[in-house]
Structure 1
Amino acid sequence: MAFTCEPRTLHTEGVALQEDKDSVTLEGGRAAWATAFGSFLVQFCGLGYASSFGVYEDFYIQHYLTNETPSAISWMGSSSAFLICAVGLVSGSLYDRGYFYHLMITGSLLQSFSLFMLSLSKPDQYYQIFLSQGLGLGVAMGLMFIPSIAIISHHFQERRTLVMAFTISGSSLGAIVHPIMLNNFLDGPLGFANGVRASAGFVSALLLIACLCMRTRLDPPTTPVNYIAAARKCLRDVPFTLMVAGGFLFQTGLFYPAYFIQLDSIKHGINVAFSSYSLAILNASSLIGRATSGFIAPFTGVPNLAIIATMSCSVLIFGMIGLNSLASVVVLAVLHGYFEGLFVAITPPLMATLTPDLSELGARMGIAVFIGGFGSLIGPPISGALLTSNYIWWIPALFSGMVSLTGSIVFFIMRDAFVKEQIEDRPIDYGL
C-alpha cells in the first residue's frame, strides 16, 4: 500500500548545519552515508511493509477472518496508515527536542513485538489482529517515519534532496518485496503463523542494522516549531487550505486499488499465481513514478503536475469497474501505480510552493499529512462496506473514483487561488 503521507523533508531547516565553532561542516562522510542507509532500511520496513496490506486483506477475507466483512478488515490497514501520519505529529516534536535514538529504538522494538504478536493471532479473532497490526504496527512506524527522514539534514546540505530520494525509495522497494514474500509465505508451506514469524524476523534484523547505522550530528533547535501558531496561519492561507482539503478527499479514494486489486483479480477468475503479483506490479510502477517526478515537474510546474497525477488516478480508479482480464489488471496496476507515485512524490514540493515562510514548512507538512491521513483512514473501510460480502465491485470503484475526482477539482481551484495570490517567487526544490 502505497501511502500519501510523505515525510517532512525540510524538518530541520531552521537548524544551522554546523557543529562546534572549531569544527568543519562536512557534506557526507562514512557516518552520513551509514545514516542514509539506515534511513533507507527504516522506510523499507515501515511504509514498505504497510503497503503490503493488500496481501493481508485478501488472505483474511478468504481464509483467516471469514466471519468479518471486507470493511471491518480494511479498518486494520487504514488505521495503521492513519497512525503513521498521526503519530508523526508527536514523533516530529520529540525529534526536535533531541529524542532521536529513543524514537528509533522504541519504534523498532514495538514493530518487531507487534509482528511476532500478529503471528500468535488465532483465526477469526479480529481483536487480536487489530491490536497488533492495526494499532501496534501503526504506532511503531509513526514513531520512526519522520525522524528517520529528518536525520538526513544532520549530514547533508547540498546533496540533501538526492539523499532523501534514495532513502524514500526504500518504501517503494519494500512495497515490491514484502507483498511477494508474504504471498509466498502465507499461501505456501509455512502458513500464517510461521510465515508472519519469518517476516517478523526479517524486518527485525533490518531494523537492528538501521539502528546501528544511524547517528545524529547536531544539537536540537533551541525553539521547536509551534504547531498551534503554524495551524492558525494555515487557516488564513487559502491555497494551502485548499490543498489540504483536496488531499483529504483525494486520499479517501486513492487507496482502493492498493487494498483490493489482488482480491478483485482473484474473484474475477484470473490466475491466482499472477494475481499475487498484482500489488507488486502496482508498487513497482509507483517507484518509477516517484523517480521521474523530479524530471517532469520543472516542465509542467508543481501544481499542474499534482493536478495531472490526481486526475489520472481518479480516471483509473473508475477503470477498476472494467477489471475482468489479466491484461486489464496489468494496465490498471501499471498506470495507477505510476500516477500514484507521481502524486506521492510531488506532495512535498507542492507544500513548499504554497508555504510563504519556509521555516514553517516542517510544521505545515506535519499538519497536512495528519489531516490527509483521515482520508486514508476512512476510505478503504467505506469501500469495503460498499463492496459487501457479495463482491459488487462497481459500487466501491464508483465511490472511490468520485471522491478522488472531487479532490482533483479542488486542486484546480487551489492552483487558481495560488496564481491570484502570485506566490511564485519562492525557491522550490523539485527533487525528492
Structure 2
Amino acid sequence: MHHPLPSSLLLSMSTPLASDETATQASDGALQSVKSTGNISNTNNSDAPDFPDGGFTAWGTALGAFLIQFSGFGYTSAYGVFQDFYTQTYLTNSTPSAIAWIGSVNAFMILSVGPVAGRMLDRGAFYHLMIIGCLLQCFFLFMLSLAKPNGYYQIFLSQGIGSGAAIGLTNVPTIAVVSHHFQRRRSFVMGFVVAGASMGSIVHPIMLNNLINGRLGFANGVRASAAMTSGLLLIACLLMRTRLPPQPQAVSYTRVLRNSLRDRAYVCACLGMAASEVGFFFVAFYLQLDSRLHGLDESFSFYSLAIFHTGCFIGRLTAGIVSAYLGVPHTVIGSSLIASAIIFAMIGLRSMASVTLIGITYGYFSGIYVGMMAPMITYLTPEISDIGARIGISFAVASIGSLSGTFSICFFQPTLTFSLGAPICGAFLTSNYIWWKAAVFAGSLATGGTIMFIFMQFILKIRQKTASVCSKETGV
C-alpha cells in the first residue's frame, strides 16, 4: 500500500507528476478553494537543492527502504495465514470475528501511527524512528512466538497493537527518505520501494505456511520468521541515509484539516478510500480460509494468498503506466469498480481455477487502485506545502476502513463478543460459513467507495468548468 507522507517529502515536489498531464488542471480546477485557503506556493525549480539521482548512498537508501517495506507491511499482508491457522488450530476458543480483530488492529495501527511518524521525521528524527521501530518490531515478533494456544490477548497485544505500532513508526519515513536522494527518478524509485510490501506479501505467506503448518510449529516457525526479519531490518538500517535538513516549521494539521473539510472532492475521496478498505481486507484475510473450507487441496490453499499478492504486485508496478494514459481519477474509478465487482465473484469460489482467477484479477486491479491513492490525494491538493498533511489525514481516515473490515465480519458471526458491532450483528456466516452474505456485504461497501470516487470526479469537472469560465471573464 501507499502510505501517508510527511512534509519533508515536499521539498522538491513543486511540479505536477510527469505521468499525469491533467494534474495541473486539478490545481486550476480547485482555484476557488485555493483562494479560500491561501495562495499556492510558487516554487522555482532552480531553487531546489541538487539531487544526486543515483550513487551508492542513494540506491542503498532505496534498497534499505525496500527491505523495510518487505519486512513491515509485507508481513502484515500475510495475516490471512494467521487468520486460517488461528481459526482452525491455535485460537479455537475464539470466534473468527474476534481473530480478525488482531489483523485489523495491526493494519489500523500502521496507518494511524503514520502521521505521527511523519511529523517526527520532519523534525529530524529519522534515525531514531528507524532504530526504535525496528527494535520494537523484532521484539514483538519474538513475543508473539511465546503466546500459548488460546492465549488470545497475548497475541492481540503483541501482533495486533505492538507490531502494528512498530511498523507504523518505520513505514512512512522509509517512503519519504528516498525523496532526499531522487528527483528525476523519484516516481520510479518510490514505486520500487512500495513494491517491497507487495514482494513481502508474496514471500511471507509461503514461508509462514510452511513454517507454522510444518514441522517447526507455531512457536519455532514465528521465531524463524522473526530472525529473518531481524536480519533484513538490520541491513536496512545500515543502508539508509538522510540528506536534506529538517523542515524549519512543520505544517499545521489543524489548518489543513479545517480547509480540507471545505473541499468536497477531497472529502469524497477520503470516504471512498475508507469504504474500499473493507473489501480489500475481507479478501486479504479470508481468501485462504475460504478456499480451505471449500475442500480445496491444502497445499494449494496455502498459496492462494501468494497468488493474490502476485496480482497486487503487478498492479502496483503498472499503476503509473495506466494512469499516464487514463489520468489519475479515471484510473482510480475504473480499478476500484472492477475490484468491487470481483469481490461479489467470491460467491462462486468453488475450485482451484476460481481461486486463481479471483486472486489474480482482484489482486491486479486492487493493486492499481492502492497504488494510485497517494497520487490521487496529490492531484486533489492545490497547495504543495499541504500534500504531506493531506495524505496523512486521508490515510488516517482510510485506516478506519481497516477496522470496518472487522465490523463487517460482525455480520458473519452470531456469537460476537464485541459490543460495538452488536447492533448490526447477524447470522451471516454462522457455524456453516455462508460466504455469499459476507461477499455481498464487503462488495457493496467497496462499490459505495467507487460511487464516492465518481462524485469526486464530478465535482472536479464542475470546478474545472467554473475556473475556465472565470479565466475567460477576467482574461487571465
Distance 1:237 1:338 in 2: 30
- Equivalent in the alignment of 1:88: 114
Code of the residue aligned with 1:420 in structure 2: it is I
24 and 83 in structure 1: CA distance in 2 versus 1, 3 angstrom threshold: closer
Q: How does 1:8-157 map to 2 (within 5 A)?
A: 8=5, 11-14=8-11, 25-157=51-183
Distance 2:140 2:179 in 1: 30
- Are 1:320 and 2:346 an aligned pair? yes
Distance 1:357 1:339 in 2: 30
Shift of 1:362: 0.5
Distance 2:466 2:206 in 1: 44
Distance 1:367 1:245 in 2: 12
Code of the residue aligned with 2:202 in structure 1: it is I
- Are 1:300 and 2:297 an aligned pair? no
Code of the residue aligned with 2:448 in structure 1: it is T
Distance 1:353 1:10 in 2: 16
Code of the residue aligned with 2:461 in structure 1: it is V
- Are 1:401 and 2:443 an aligned pair? yes
Distance 2:234 2:380 in 1: 38
Distance 2:6 2:122 in 1: 14
Distance 1:290 1:389 in 2: 37
Distance 2:357 2:71 in 1: 28
Distance 2:136 2:191 in 1: 26
- Are 1:240 and 2:240 an aligned pair? no
Shift of 1:8: 2.1
- Equivalent in the alignment of 2:452: 410
Shift of 1:384: 5.5
Identity percentage over the alignment? 49
The answer for unaligned runs of 5 or more in structure 1 is 426-432
- Equivalent in the alignment of 2:292: 266
Greater CA radius of gyration, 1 or 2?
2
Greater mean alpha carbon deviation, residues 345-354 or residues 200-209: 345-354
345 and 351 in structure 1: CA distance in 2 versus 1, 3 angstrom threshold: same
Which of residues 2, 6, 17 in structure 1 aligns to 2:3?
Answer: 6
Cα displacement string for residues 173-209 of structure 1 (whole angstroms, at most 9, x for unaligned residues) = 0000000000000110000000000000000000001
- Are 1:311 and 2:362 an aligned pair? no
Distance 2:357 2:122 in 1: 43
The answer to whether the Cα contact below 8 Å between 1:40 and 1:168 also exists between their aligned partners in 2 is: yes
Distance 1:315 1:15 in 2: 39
- Equivalent in the alignment of 1:163: 189
Cα displacement string for residues 65-107 of structure 1 (whole angstroms, at most 9, x for unaligned residues) = 0011110000000001011110011100000000000100000
- 2:10 is paired with a residue of what secondary structure? coil
- Are 1:197 and 2:223 an aligned pair? yes
Distance 1:305 1:360 in 2: 23
- Are 1:188 and 2:246 an aligned pair? no
266 and 423 in structure 1: CA distance in 2 versus 1, 3 angstrom threshold: farther
Distance 1:99 1:424 in 2: 43
- 2:182 is paired with a residue of what secondary structure? coil
The answer to whether the Cα contact below 8 Å between 2:52 and 2:58 also exists between their aligned partners in 1 is: no
Shift of 1:155: 1.0
269 and 8 in structure 1: CA distance in 2 versus 1, 3 angstrom threshold: same
- Equivalent in the alignment of 1:428: none
Code of the residue aligned with 1:172 in structure 2: it is S
The answer to whether the Cα contact below 8 Å between 2:69 and 2:193 also exists between their aligned partners in 1 is: yes
Shift of 1:10: 7.0
Which of residues 384, 387, 391 in structure 2 aligns to 1:365?
Answer: 391
Distance 2:3 2:245 in 1: 24
- Equivalent in the alignment of 2:201: 175
- Are 1:257 and 2:254 an aligned pair? no
The answer to whether the Cα contact below 8 Å between 1:240 and 1:351 also exists between their aligned partners in 2 is: yes
- Equivalent in the alignment of 1:430: none
25 and 402 in structure 1: CA distance in 2 versus 1, 3 angstrom threshold: closer
- 2:53 is paired with a residue of what secondary structure? coil
The answer to whether the Cα contact below 8 Å between 1:60 and 1:66 also exists between their aligned partners in 2 is: yes
Shift of 1:378: 2.0
Distance 1:24 1:291 in 2: 27
The answer to whether the Cα contact below 8 Å between 1:383 and 1:399 also exists between their aligned partners in 2 is: no
Shift of 1:11: 4.6
Query: Please, what TM-score do these two structures have when normalized by structure 1?
Result: 0.93
Greater mean alpha carbon deviation, residues 374-383 or residues 162-171: 374-383
The answer to whether the Cα contact below 8 Å between 1:117 and 1:132 also exists between their aligned partners in 2 is: yes
- 1:216 is paired with a residue of what secondary structure? coil
249 and 86 in structure 1: CA distance in 2 versus 1, 3 angstrom threshold: same
Code of the residue aligned with 1:362 in structure 2: it is G
Distance 1:126 1:423 in 2: 56
The answer to whether the Cα contact below 8 Å between 1:119 and 1:194 also exists between their aligned partners in 2 is: yes
Greater mean alpha carbon deviation, residues 252-261 or residues 64-73: 252-261
Distance 2:373 2:174 in 1: 18
24 and 237 in structure 1: CA distance in 2 versus 1, 3 angstrom threshold: closer
- Equivalent in the alignment of 1:392: 434
- Are 1:290 and 2:316 an aligned pair? yes
The answer to whether the Cα contact below 8 Å between 2:51 and 2:182 also exists between their aligned partners in 1 is: no
Distance 1:424 1:163 in 2: 37
- 2:261 is paired with a residue of what secondary structure? helix
- 1:391 is paired with a residue of what secondary structure? coil
424 and 121 in structure 1: CA distance in 2 versus 1, 3 angstrom threshold: farther
The answer for unaligned runs of 5 or more in structure 2 is 15-46, 413-428, 468-476
- 1:364 is paired with a residue of what secondary structure? helix
- 1:13 is paired with a residue of what secondary structure? helix
The answer to whether the Cα contact below 8 Å between 1:230 and 1:364 also exists between their aligned partners in 2 is: yes
The answer to whether the Cα contact below 8 Å between 1:98 and 1:220 also exists between their aligned partners in 2 is: yes
Shift of 1:247: 1.1
- 1:12 is paired with a residue of what secondary structure? helix
- 1:236 is paired with a residue of what secondary structure? coil
Greater mean alpha carbon deviation, residues 148-157 or residues 122-131: 148-157
Q: How many residues are aligned here?
A: 418
